Amino acid sequence: MTVTILLIRHAAHADLGQILSGRTVGGPLTEAGVEQAHQLGARLAAEPIASVHTSPVRRARQTAEYVAAVHGQEPLLAEELNEIDFGVWAGRAFADLERDPAWTRWNEQRADAGAPNGEMMKQVQLRVWTYLQAAARRFPGKIVAMVSHCDPIRAAITAVLGLSLDNLLRIEVAPASVSRIEVGEWGARVLSLNEVRA
């Protein structure tokens, strides 16, 4: 049996594009982010979502609440959907990171590079992909929503497409976007990428 998984990136928050929040508490969704999450919930209200899962990070949980509420559900916390552990980079401004050679290497060689005292991209991909495969066994024939973060979603998509993680940054995953995949015993395929509010 096949499960359809909606890979949802959290909505906009105050640090977006400025600070590498990582797993730090970070700020809540901005006013624009709340509106994005509200619209996301409305867009997905007609879909028969069987279960909503979320990264434990606040911005993801807040987004997931809007999706789950229209289905009368509570989001399920899933550590496997968590943001990358960025180690010593967490909480630093992107402007500062751009001067760090290790940051440059990380963005050019995601298949082999890792965050200092943090995760390698391979580890991220493995934990996310393993969770998606477990969902296929647990929810056969259903639709499951999973709220996560940009790079973990990209990692799942590259796994489905059989691409090197070095191609990660070629995939756009906007805030409050939905990317759809199907996963089953036969394998997996991408149905859509980066669906955003029209």
- pLDDT tens across 61-73, in order? 999 999 999 999 9
pLDDT band at 198 (very low <50, low <70, confident <90, very high): low
Q: What is the pTM of this model?
A: 0.95
- pLDDT tens across 83-103, in order? 999 999 988 889 999 999 999
**Mean pLDDT to the nearest integer, 164-190:** 95
Per-residue confidence (pLDDT) for residue 177, from 0 to 100: 97
Per-residue burial over 55-66, b = 16 or more CB atoms within 10 Å of its CB, e = otherwise? bebbbbbbbbbb
Q: Give the per-residue SS3 of the chain.
A: CEEEEEEEECCCECCCCCECCCCCCCCCECHHHHHHHHHHHHHHCCCCEEEEEECCCHHHHHHHHHHHHCCCCCCEECHHHCCCCCHHHCCCEHHHHCCCHHHHHHHHCCCCCECCCCCEHHHHHHHHHHHHHHHHHHCCCCEEEEEECHHHHHHHHHHHHCCCHHHHHHCCCCCCCEEEEEEECCEEEEEEEEECCC
Question: E strands, 33-156, where?
Answer: 49-54, 76-77, 143-148
Q: Is the pLDDT of residue 152 over 80?
A: yes
Phi, psi of 13 (to 5 degrees): -130, 170
Q: Which residue has the tokens 């909503």?
A: 52
In the chain, where the domains are located: 2-195
Token digits of residue 198: 């029209």
Beta bridge partners of 51: 144
- pLDDT tens across 21-56, in order? 888 766 789 999 999 999 999 999 999 999 999 999
Per-residue confidence (pLDDT) for residue 15, from 0 to 100: 76
**Residues of the chain above pLDDT 90, percent:** 83
Query: CB–CB of 41/66 below 8 Å?
Result: yes
**Residues of the chain above pLDDT 70, percent:** 98
- pLDDT tens across 100-142, in order? 999 999 999 999 988 899 999 999 999 999 999 999 999 999 9
Q: What's the Cα-to-Cα distance from 6 to each of 1, 118, 165, rounded to whole Å?
A: 17, 27, 21
**Domain range 2-195, CATH class:** alpha beta
